[in-house]
Structure 1
Amino acid sequence: MEKHSQRPEPKNLNSVWRFLRRCLFSVLSFGPMPKHIAFIMDGNRRYAKKMQIKEGSGHNVGFTSLVSSLQYCYEMGVKYVTVYAFSIDNFKRKPEEVGSLMHLMKEKIDQLLEEESIVHKFGLKLNFWGSLDLLPEPIRSAAEKAMVHTANNTGPVLSICVAYTSTNEILRAINKSCARFEDKTGEGSDPANSILVTDLEENLDSASCSEPDIVIRTSGETRLSNFLLWQSTFSHLQSPNLFWPEFSLRHLIWSILEYQKVYPYLEARRKLCQES
């Protein structure tokens, strides 16, 4: 007599889970939805220590958490996601740790370009923000290849901040603005009273993206750590008390609900600023 398993097929479970997510996101969309969410992915090393796993393994788990979070964001219609992957200040860590992180970064960038990756699934456009010239050659080449490979994609945008700090981004934008001013007016011209805020914003790494509606930093830290300082004037800053590898759908849903709760206040402040 043939035996029949009582367990649903994994494929069917995935279909049911996707359907439930669509229902949940549909309900969530009755409120104002963010167009741009930025993540400071903090706590990978502390997660590894907490779980007593090999040092560096926390970043692998963190990448899995990132891919899941990206999928949920894009399924609910978020157009832009920006992540803080590696600060310029991180180069001050132990050489072996920096080397390990660079190797992992190259591996993950290559994975993003694989046929079955989230990039192909959603038609993502990849940006890399920061002083890429500070990166080792294999990493810089991989980042440049990823940007060229996805330049014509019309889906959501994933911006990855590497060798990045906000003050460095602003400094580079000032230098670019001054250089463009001199190209137009000739050398020796003084740009001090001629460069506008709009000129500076056009030369920021984030020029092609809207400002983040939500900035989430995990591990309970309340500092921006030199991340998107210019762009986050009207962002809703959140600091959930968990490590980045532990960040899940329920935390993302809660973040959006918190944003929807304060949205009227944020919009009022934004309009007031625009009128003044």
Structure 2
Amino acid sequence: MEKISGRVIQIYGNLVSFLRKCIFCVLSAGSVPNHIAFIMDGNRRFAKRLNLMDGAGHKVGYSALMSMLRYCYEFGVRYVTIYAFSIDNFKRSPEEVQSLMDLMLEKIEGLIKEESIVNHYGVRVYFSGNLKLLSEPVRLAAERAMLATAKNSRAVLSICVAYTSTNEIVHAVQESFEEKWDEITVLNSSGAGYGLISLGGNEQDEGDHLIKLTDIEKHMYMAVAPDPDIIIRTSGETRLSNFLLWQSAHCYLYSPQVLWPEIGLRQFLCAILNFQRLRFYLDKKKKQL
């Protein structure tokens, strides 16, 4: 009986997968977003609603994440970014932070396994944020995952941990200033003179060592990916919560009412269809800059 049930489940799963790929094939006749970012909101509320143990919502949320990644890569989305842990999350209780770090460590180790979803789809993994704030085991695991997937080239997964957009911008400005200062120091030591350091976005500003917009963007944590086309935040919230503020000026924000563990194919398809409907408008706004 168990063999029959298992066979039925396998057939059903194969049928669902085939139908999903057919839908994606039809949708791909329209615009396919190059980059989708996710704010995974509602894990704790989901656990509270179902009277689950602390941390159970995040574990269910991880399963939802795996489904979203599968949909993205099947549809041909090249870049996916997830907001996994904000710097502000360190303000939560020590017990909750430690539980999240333990879960993160477990799931990062899972990414390295040969049969993992990132290796199945040829995904390179980046961890973006102030990684020095992470515990040593989590930071080392993140470094191992990035090294283990470095040769994957079909898609990119950026995992934002110990991240806020304001911290990212400050970091980028500091790095840009230090880079320009080093250039001036070298020129001074060679007797070649020096230029002017100032913040300016105009490429025609005078001075050989202006900090330009391109310099700052080069030092962003998220320099590994283009600006997002879609940001999906669950639970009906329309706030960005200090996530990709620099990069999201002209992307489409989709806010389904479901909590993150409840997100599924229907919400993913709605996001894609709305993006395709608004693509001309979004492109027009970008060209007006």
Q: TM-score range by the shorter chain?
A: over 0.9
1:224 aligns with 2:240: yes
1:177-188 to 2 correspondences below 5 Å: 177-186=176-185
1:54-69 to 2 correspondences below 5 Å: 54-69=53-68
Q: 2:284 pairs with 246, 262, 268, which one?
A: 268
Conserved in 2, the CA contact under 8 Å of 1:182 and 1:189?
A: no
1:13-52 to 2 correspondences below 5 Å: 13-52=12-51
* Shift in Å, 1:12: 2.5
Q: Secondary structure at the match of 2:159?
A: strand
* Shift in Å, 1:204: 0.7
Q: Secondary structure at the match of 1:206?
A: helix
> Where does residue 166 of structure 1 map in the other structure?
165
**How many angstroms apart in 2 are the aligned matches of 1:171 and 1:130?**
12
**How many angstroms apart in 1 are the aligned matches of 2:70 and 2:235?**
22
Any idea what the Cα deviations from partners look like across 1:212-236, whole Å, max 9, x if unmatched?
0000111111110000000001110
**How many angstroms apart in 1 are the aligned matches of 2:174 and 2:287?**
30
How many matched pairs?
270
Conserved in 1, the CA contact under 8 Å of 2:119 and 2:152?
A: no
Change beyond 3 A, Cα 1:7–1:132: closer
Q: Secondary structure at the match of 2:141?
A: helix
Q: Which residues of structure 1 form unaligned runs of 5+?
A: none
Conserved in 2, the CA contact under 8 Å of 1:176 and 1:203?
A: yes
Q: Secondary structure at the match of 1:223?
A: coil
1:195-234 to 2 correspondences below 5 Å: 195-234=211-250
Conserved in 1, the CA contact under 8 Å of 2:43 and 2:261?
A: yes
> Where does residue 52 of structure 2 map in the other structure?
53
State the percentage of identical aligned residues. Answer: 52
> Where does residue 102 of structure 2 map in the other structure?
103
Conserved in 2, the CA contact under 8 Å of 1:217 and 1:238?
A: yes
Runs of 4+ in 1 over 4 A off after TM superposition: 4-8, 187-190
Q: Which one-letter code corresponds to 1:167 in the other structure?
A: T
Change beyond 3 A, Cα 1:6–1:45: closer
**How many angstroms apart in 1 are the aligned matches of 2:5 and 2:276?**
42
Any idea what the Cα deviations from partners look like across 1:36-89, whole Å, max 9, x if unmatched?
000000000000011111111000000000001000100000000000000000
Q: Which moved more, 1:242-251 or 1:4-13?
A: 4-13
> Where does residue 197 of structure 2 map in the other structure?
191
**How many angstroms apart in 2 are the aligned matches of 1:247 and 1:163?**
24
Any idea what the Cα deviations from partners look like across 1:91-119, whole Å, max 9, x if unmatched?
00001110111011001101111122101
Instruction: Give RMSD over aligned pairs.
Output: 1.7
1:135 aligns with 2:141: no
Conserved in 1, the CA contact under 8 Å of 2:172 and 2:216?
A: yes
Q: Which moved more, 1:49-58 or 1:12-21?
A: 12-21
Q: Which one-letter code corresponds to 1:125 in the other structure?
A: R
